[in-house]
Structure 1
C-alpha cells in the first residue's frame, strides 16, 4: 500500500518553523551558535534540511526562542516523523534520478498537482509502454533492472490518483506531446486512449494547448506546482533539466509559476474540446 506519509514534507515543515522561531526571536544564526555553544554551520544545517535535529537540539532551540512546551513537543514529534523512511526510499539510487527522491516525497503528500508539459505526456498519465520507450531513448542507457525499478516506482506514484483521498491533477499538455510518435502508433494509440480514460476521473483535468495558440508563457519550460492540504505548507514549484531538477519555494517565484500556469490554461482548449481533439487523434492513429 502507498501510504500518504512523507518524511520529506515533515522535514521541510520542521525547518521552516525553526527559521520562523529564530526570526521572531530576532536572532541571527551566529547569535544562536554563540548562546548554545554550537557552530554557525550546525545551525545552518538544521535550517536548510541538511541534518535533522534530535530531541535535545529542539529543546535547546525552543528554550532560547521562548517557545511553549506544547509547540515544542509538536515539532519534536515532527522531527521523529521526518526520520522515517518514505516508501520510495526502498528503491535503488539508480531508480531515483538525482534529487528526484525529494520530489516523490512531496508528490506523495500533495493534494493538488498542476503540470505543464511540452513534448512529453506527464509521468502520472503515462502508460507502461510509453514510459518504456522513453527510457530506451535516454542516454546513457540504463540496465534492465533499473528500468524495472523505475517502472515500479512510477506505478506506485500513479496509485496516488486513486483511493479515498486521491491526488487532484490538472495537466496542460501541448499538442506536440500528443503528436510526438513515441514508440510509433502501437504505443501512442493506447497512450492517447489512456488519457481519455483518465479524463473521466472527476479529480483529473486534462487540457491541450494547440499549435494554433501561438506564443504563450513558458514555451520552453515545462514545470509542476505542488499544493498541500496542510495550510502551513505553501506551494512548491518544480522543474527538471537534463541532469537534475530545481525546487522553488520563495513566494514571489512560486507566484510567477502560478501566474504562468493560469495563463497557459487560459490559452489552452477547454477540457471538453481537449478531449475531442485527443479522440480525433485516436481515430487518425
Structure 2
C-alpha cells in the first residue's frame, strides 16, 4: 500500500495533540517552553503549536518535533523514532503534488490513497473512482473552475490517476451506494459509463448498490459523503464536499453518525446482484438508443 504524506501528517498532528493533552499542558505553556529550549524568539508561538496539532502546515522540522518530545518527557528511543519517521514521511510528495494546479492541496486524494476501506454515498454523480474519462470530462466541462481546455485535461487526468488504487495488488475495499437518479441522468452518448459500472460491479473488492427512487425520502438527501477507514492506529475520516470547500470530520460522534447513515442506506438499497441487474437493464436500453 502506498505511503500517503497526508495521512502521516494527520497522524503526527494527532499524536502531538494527544501527548500534550495527556500531560495536562496548555498550548501557550508548551509554546513558551519550546521558545526557551530552542533559543529562537520568533520560532515558537501558541499559533504555531496549534497549526502543528491540527495538521495545518506545509513543512515541519525534525528539530521542532524533538523539542516537543523533550518537553513531554518522551525519551524512549523507539517512541521518538516513531515521531521522527512520521516527520520524514510527511514531507514526501505524492503524485498529486504535481497536479496542485487542479487539485489544490490534494488532501482528499492523499487520504484516499492509503485508505483500507472506502464507503461512499453518491446522490448526484457516479463516484470519482468509477468514472470513465468521457463521463468525468462531461461533469467537469461546465465547471466555473475550468478556465481552459488544458485545465480540463489535467483535471480529467488527475481523476483517472486516482483510480489506480483500485487496480493495485492490495486494493482498498470499495463500497458505494448510488442513488438511482444518478443512473437515469446518463445520456446515450455516455452509455459507456454504465458499461464500466457494470464491469466494476464484478470486482472482488467492490460493492455497488443502487438506492431505488421507489424507496422515497431518506436520511442522506442533503448530499453525498465519503467515509475513509485506515489501518490502525489511524482513525476514520468523513469527507464532505461543497461547491466552495472541503470538510473533514474526525470526531468519534461525527464518524458514528455517518456510519449509521451509511448502514441505513445500504440496507435500503438493492442487493449487489439486483443492483447489477438494474445497471445491466439500463445499459442495454441506452446502447439501443445510441445505435438508433
TM-score normalised by L of structure 2: 0.91
Q: 1:54 is matched with which residue: 53, 61, 86?
A: 61
Q: Is the 8 A contact 2:146 2:152 kept in 1?
A: no
Q: Which residue of 2 aligns with 1:240?
A: 241
Q: Which residue of 2 aligns with 1:64?
A: 71
CA RMSD after TM alignment: 1.4
Q: Which residue of 1 aligns with 2:188?
A: 185
Give the CA deviation at 1:131: 0.8
User: Is the partner of 1:109 in helix, strand or coil?
Assistant: coil
State the distance in 1 between where 2:129 and 2:86 align: 29
State the distance in 1 between where 2:79 and 2:146 align: 49
TM-score normalised by L of structure 1: 0.93
Give the CA deviation at 1:59: 1.5
User: Any unmatched runs of 5+ in structure 2?
Assistant: 36-43, 287-292
Q: Deviations over 1:241-261 (max 9, x none)?
A: 111211111111111111100
1:89 lines up with 2:87 in the alignment: no
Count of residues in correspondence between the two structures: 276
State the distance in 2 between where 1:21 and 1:92 align: 32
State the distance in 1 between where 2:143 and 2:65 align: 44
Q: Deviations over 1:78-134 (max 9, x none)?
A: 1011111111101142x21x55x1000000111111010012111111111111111
1:113 lines up with 2:118 in the alignment: yes
State the distance in 2 between where 1:92 and 1:65 align: 36
Q: Which residue of 2 aligns with 1:142?
A: 147
Q: Is the 8 A contact 2:173 2:205 kept in 1?
A: yes
Q: Which residue of 2 aligns with 1:212?
A: 214
Q: Which residue of 1 aligns with 2:163?
A: 158
Q: Deviations over 1:199-221 (max 9, x none)?
A: 11000010000001112111122
Q: Is the 8 A contact 1:127 1:191 kept in 2?
A: yes
Q: Is the 8 A contact 1:119 1:180 kept in 2?
A: no
Alignment of 1:239-258 (within 5 A): 239-258=240-259
State the distance in 2 between where 1:121 and 1:206 align: 11
1:77 lines up with 2:77 in the alignment: no
